[in-house]
Amino acid sequence: MLTLRRHAVIIHTPTGVPAGYPTWFDFAVANMELPASCAGARTDEDLAAQRLAIRDAARTELNILRRQ
């Protein structure tokens, strides 16, 4: 929870879920980022690959939860 409070970005959307996403979970997965403290001196290419890996892992977990 501390990590969420430290690195979260709050987006106010009075109409509910952001446009183009069926749920908040889908929005969160599609927009996951590495915290600046983890990014360090990595190259843009390395950061893009890590961001993609994180999003793929989160999407897989979300799909598993939906099947249960």
Is the pLDDT assigned to residue 20 strictly greater than 80? yes
Q: Give the pLDDT confidence score for residue 9 in this predicted structure.
A: 63
- Residues 46-60, mean pLDDT to the nearest whole number: 89
When pLDDT is cut at 50, 70 and 90, the band that residue 2 belongs to is very low
Judge whether 22 and 52 are in contact, CB under 8 Å: no
| pLDDT mean over 29-56 | 81
Res 1: pLDDT: 42
In the chain, what are the domain boundaries? 24-30+42-67
Residue scoring higher pLDDT (38 or 24):
24
Contact 68, 59 (CB under 8 A): no
Residue 9, amino acid: V
Give the mean pLDDT of the chain.
79
